[in-house]
Chain A
Amino acid sequence: MQPLANITPLKPAGAIEVRNVGQVFKTTTQDVVALENVSLDVKPGRFVVLVGPSGCGKSTLLMMMAGLRQQTSGTITISGAPIPEPDPNRVGVVFQEASLFPWLTAEENVEFPLALRGVTKSDRRARAQDALKLVGLDGFGKRHPHELSGGMKQRVSIARGLVQDPPVLLMDEPFAALDEQTRMTMGDELLRIWAATGKTVVFVTHSLTEAVYLADEVIVMSPRPGRIVDHLQVSLPRPRTYEMLSGDAFGSLRDRIWRHIRKSA
């Protein structure tokens, strides 16, 4: 565990607190318990990854942190306050593939959250430019999504999530649709962006390698009903490098996660 130098002490925003959260889906035939008694603390500026098999409710948990869905029981607070509805000033969300609006250019997509708040055109453009520069897409603002590669599209999505400068960034399997090489590159890029901005990141993935490579902490979840079965601290030094992937420390962490997932599969 290491402190992040670029968190200003005046702004203790970005803490996430999940207390005894449960989620029950009512269907016509039965009630499905998606999450049961989930509690979790994320300190400001940490990179936390949620992993688990399909149907463990990790995406559901993320959507509840985003205010896009309400838990049946328990409480969730972001920066100290509950989140009954989406609040883009506190939380930015990066979705899976194909969440960009295809009729807008890259910069218009990034400007979208600002346009909803009525930010002036010139101000919007300037902030979108900054966000695009941050994700390494300087000069691509005028392109439409269909003119961008999969990795570039997800960079635009990240820029859109960051453009309002929220303290928390929630990412729902953002790289799942990318090929292996692009995925590795995007992982490094995300870590660079995270280090530069000091955001709290909660990242959902299926990939164990991605989880260990990116995270400060890995939360392992079990399938229905979704519970937290393990909480690992990843003490590998930063910056993370490709060579660490073949190291013993990396391997033993990945094995430990795999044993949990195999047990429940």
Chain B
Amino acid sequence: MQSGFAVKATRVAIVVALFAIWEILSRTGIVNPRLLPSASDTLATLGDLLQRASVRKDLVVTASEVATAFALAVPVGALIGFLIAENRYFADVAKPLLFFAFSIPKSIFLPMFILVFGVGFSQKVGFGFFSTIFIVIMSTTTAVESVKVEHLTVARSYGATPVQTAFRVYLPSMLPVLLEALRISMIFNLTGVILAEMYASRDGIGHQIATWGENFQMKQLLAGVVMIAAIAIAFNELVRWVETRCSHWRT
């Protein structure tokens, strides 16, 4: 337990030290404070921003886009991934194609999304969906393949119905991999939506960050960066926490 505590303490110390270096670089003028406002100023600005109705509205817009894209991409991707994993022919045909698609940087398609959907909610959701679905498909395929044949045989030998096999063998076997997939998908999803907002948008936190950058409002820009980072880390840690609770049996 003590070593665990020591590791955590060191971790906190590193984060504090980074903020301290940031503060010192800015305060002493080693880096021009107009380019790099101090950590304390940035955090103060972040507090201000969170009070503003417009920023809150932007956050709500972004959150709803992210949630919609995620809610569409995960079930659709999971279904496709499942079909691919369960069907040998499908798998042989689709797997290399998926790898091709996955290797292409998604950002080059952004102008096309704007042309098709116009600037707005559906453009961002569409692009978020597009950025996420390939990783969901591939992770689901991996998850299905992680189900052990021995376990399926055991279920069959005790007369499990297909539904019982799905819920009592497939689901628990796949859960750790699926949660990990969910976590990584969210990273792709968030990146996709914010990128779409920064590229062409009228609202959303990504749009705000892009605007602050263009107007040389460094305090607001950095505050926005810290805010998005904190949200992303919080979601990631939440899923990781669920993950460890569900996969304690994994060794």
Contact = CB atoms under 8 A, between A and B. Distances in A.
Residue of A88, A103, A113 with most chain B CB atoms under a 10 A cut-off? A103
Given A144-B249, A145-B249, A146-B249, A113 B158 contact: yes
Given A146-B249, A146-B251, A116 B157 contact: no
Contacts of B155: 116
Contact of B159 (A88, A96, A145): A88
B214 to A, nearest CB: 51
A230 interface: no
Interface residues of A, number: 24
B158 A103 contact: no
B249 A86 contact: no
B154 A95 contact: yes
A68 interface: yes
B169 A95 contact: no
A87 B159 contact: yes
A96 B154 CA distance: 11
A93 B157 contact: yes
A42 B161 CA distance: 30
B202 interface: no
B157 A68 contact: yes
A115 B157 CA distance: 14
A66 interface: yes
A113 B164 CA distance: 11
A32 interface: no
A112 interface: yes
B118 interface: no
Main secondary structure of the interface of A (DSSP, over half): loop
Contacts of B249: 102-103, 144-146
Contacts of A25: none
Nearest to A105: B249
B154 A116 contact: no
A101 B169 contact: yes
A186 B235 CA distance: 48
A67 B151 CA distance: 16
Contacts of A88: 157-159
A98 interface: yes
Nearest to A113: B158
A95 B250 CA distance: 21
A144 B164 CA distance: 21
B172 A103 contact: yes
Contacts of A115: 168
Contact of A99 (B151, B172, B251): B151
Contacts of A85: 159
A102 B173 CA distance: 9
A164 to B, nearest CB: 8
Contacts of B164: 116
Nearest to A93: B157
Interface in A83-122: 85-88, 91, 93, 95-96, 98-99, 101-103, 112-113, 115-117
B28 to A, nearest CB: 54
A116 B159 contact: yes
Contacts of A112: 154, 158, 168
Interface string B148-176: 10110111111111001000110011010
Interface of A: 66-68, 85-88, 91, 93, 95-96, 98-99, 101-103, 112-113, 115-117, 144-146
22 contacts: A68-B153, A68-B156, A85-B159, A86-B159, A88-B157, A93-B154, A95-B150, A95-B153, A95-B154, A95-B157, A98-B150, A99-B151, A101-B151, A102-B249, A102-B251, A112-B168, A113-B159, A116-B158, A116-B159, A116-B161, A144-B248, A144-B249
Given A66-B157, A99-B154, A101-B169, 14 more contacts: A68-B157, A86-B157, A88-B158, A95-B153, A96-B150, A98-B148, A99-B153, A101-B151, A102-B250, A103-B175, A115-B168, A116-B160, A144-B248, A146-B249
